[in-house]
Amino acid sequence: MTYALLSVLLLAAVGWAGGVVGNTSLLFAVIIPYAALAVFVLGFLFRAIGWSASPVPFCIPTTCGQQQSLPWIRQDRLGSPTSTPWVIGRMALEVLLFRSLWGNERVEIKGAGKLIFSPKRYLWLGGLLFHWSLAVILFRHLRFFTEPVLPGIAALQGLDGFFEIGVPVTYVSDVFILAAVTYLFARRALSPQMRVISLPADYFALFLIAAVLLSGVLMRHFFKTDVERVKEMAMGLVSFCPVVSAHPGAFFSIHLFLVSILVAYFPFSKLMHAAGVFLSPTRNLRNDSRMRRHVNPWDYPVKVHTYEEYEDEFREAMIEAGIPVEKK
């Protein structure tokens, strides 16, 4: 955990230095973001294509509901889908609403051998808040990258700032995501079981995301940032005519640099679950393995014990017992 924290702090410092030390804006505002993006796109494709190109030799969905069998037995089409639209439905609920996590419960043996089940949905809530807030935030950011600003973004922004607290208004998504990240960190750091299973990389991802969020929030609410110039830079980046000028503010530099790091780190980390979740054979296959033959592309012949070999060994005893044989 310490290493993870230190490395994120170090990265933030580098980002800050990039903003204040002269003559580095080309590197920090142009080269690094472009390089990061390139790494992200190529890395993401490399990983995702690598997974999808690898064979799925067997049809192994985890069935979470009644199979399709006799016509009068009601099939659970979501838990045990036999058609692609229902697989898409199952996946959509998984990806958009974290259906499996919703079913989470704690199980433990407590005094006198009682097995206690208790619903445990905080992880579901924390995860859902985190991911949906992140989606809203990413979408909101498009206002920097589009001119005229894409339709819908203003509306979303209005909704997100509905409570009109503070100037500039505080976004609900910001509050939610910070709360969610705090929760995700706290459960990892405080629960002894979670601590055992956590790797430095798990903390690193959390700290890095938290630092990106914090730098973003700080520059919006506390350390004035030249939004005009941010927009100019963002438009420059997307139109491939990057603008090299003084940075709009120190926290912006940190933010941009950390985002670049996050984006470049993404394809090589567990964050790739974002793509992997779609490819999981226990979730994205139809439960139709007795209806349609699933082919294993690397299937090979194996040594079997044939009936002839079997009969050769047991023929006499079989005849004696009156069991029909092929060769008398």
Partner 1 sequence: MAEDKLKQEELLNVSYEPAARDWAEPSVTFRKGTYCYGAPLKHQKYLGLPNQREWQPTDPDWKLPENWKEIILEGMETLLKRHRSFRLYLDICVRCGACADKCHYFIGSGDPRNMPVLRAELLRSVYRRYFTTAGRVFGRLAGARDLTEEVLKEWFYYFFQCSECRRCSVYCPYGIDTAEITMMARELLNLVGINIQWVVEPASNCFRTGNHLGIPPHAMKETLQFAVDELKDITGLTVDLPINKKGAEILFVAPSADFFASPHWFTLLGYLALFHEIGLDYTWSTYASEGGNFGLFHSTELAKRLNAKIYAEAKRLGVKWVLGGECGHMWRVLHQYMDTLNGPADFLEEPVSPITGTRFENARSTRMVHIAEFTADLIKHGALKLDPSRNDKVRITYHDSCNPARAMGLFEEPRFILRNVANHVYEMPENTIREKTFCCGSGAGLGADENLEMRLRGGYPRANAVRHVHERHGVNMVACMCAIDKASLTPLLEYWVPGVEVGGVHEFVGNALVMTGESRTTNLRGEPL
Name which of 101 and 214 has its Cβ closer to partner 1: 101
State the nearest-atom distance from the C-beta of 207 to partner 1, in Å. 14
Q: Say if residue 25 is exposed, middle or buried (CB neighbours under 10 Å; 0-12, 13-18, 19+).
A: buried
State the nearest-atom distance from the C-beta of 311 to partner 1, in Å. 8
State the nearest-atom distance from the C-beta of 179 to partner 1, in Å. 17
State the nearest-atom distance from the C-beta of 161 to partner 1, in Å. 30
Contact 77, 89 (CB under 8 A): yes
Q: Any idea what DSSP says for residue 290?
A: T
State the nearest-atom distance from the C-beta of 319 to partner 1, in Å. 9
Cα torsion angle, 37, 266, 175, 9, sign:
negative
State the nearest-atom distance from the C-beta of 203 to partner 1, in Å. 11
CA within 13 Å, CB half, 111: 0
Q: Say if residue 179 is exposed, middle or buried (CB neighbours under 10 Å; 0-12, 13-18, 19+).
A: middle
Name which of 47 and 143 has its Cβ closer to partner 1: 47
d(CA 16, CA 21): 9
Name which of 239 and 282 has its Cβ closer to partner 1: 282
Name which of 166 and 276 has its Cβ closer to partner 1: 276
Q: Report the candidate in 12, 61, 4 with the shortest Cα–Cα distance to residue 219.
A: 12
d(CA 13, CA 7): 10
- Tell me the C-alpha to C-alpha distance, in Å, between residue 282 and each of 80, 86, 211, 275, 287: 11, 14, 35, 15, 10
- Tell me the C-alpha to C-alpha distance, in Å, between residue 233 and each of 140, 152, 205: 17, 22, 27
Name which of 122 and 162 has its Cβ closer to partner 1: 122
Cα torsion angle, 231, 233, 238, 241, sign:
positive
State the nearest-atom distance from the C-beta of 31 to partner 1, in Å. 22
d(CA 155, CA 177): 20
Name which of 76 and 232 has its Cβ closer to partner 1: 76
Name which of 29 and 129 has its Cβ closer to partner 1: 129
